[in-house]
Structures are given as C-alpha cells and as structure tokens.
Amino acid sequence: MIQILLWKKKQLMALAFVFAPHVVEKFEKCMSQQFFVDNEELLPHLIDYFEEKWIGRSTRKYIRRPLIFNLTLWY
C-alpha cells in the first residue's frame, strides 16, 4: 500500500511538467483513478494541497478559483 501511495504521489508531482493548459484536465484524470476514488478519505490533505496551490479549488458551479500565481510561472 505504501509503495502504491508513493507512486500516486509522484504522479501528482509530475503535474509540474504538464503543459499549463492541460494541468487541470490531468489532475482530474488522476483523481478519477480507482486508487484516489477508493482512498479519498485517507488523502484529503494531499488533495487539498494540490487544489489550493496548483490548480485552484473547485467551486459549487465547478469553476476553479484563480490561483495566486499563474501556472505559466512554472516554466
């Protein structure tokens, strides 16, 4: 279980290398993987961190709040 968790964490960290317009799409694709669906209650801090710092938190209308720093600053 620990090795799987570390692998999935690395997948999230790899978002830093995704072209900026595709980051949210790839994050949502990661979150739809069975591991994240099954273990959502075990990973709230990790998921919250990525949503708050990397892609913006989703609102009730499924619109992402703007980030403090634009994703294009990653490059």
In which domain, by residue range, is 33 found? Answer: 1-73
Those residues with Cβ within 8 angstroms of residue 75's Cβ, 6 or more apart along the chain or in another chain: 20
| Cβ atoms of 50 and 12 closer than 8 Å | yes
How many separate domains does the chain show? 1
Global pTM value: 0.75
Average pLDDT over residues 57-72: 76
30 vs 70, residue with greater confidence: 30
| Cβ atoms of 31 and 68 closer than 8 Å | no
Residue 74 is predicted with a pLDDT of 65
Q: Is the pLDDT score of 63 beyond 70?
A: yes
Confidence of residue 29 (pLDDT cuts 50, 70, 90): very high
Residue indicated by tokens 């294009």: 72
| Cβ atoms of 17 and 26 closer than 8 Å | no
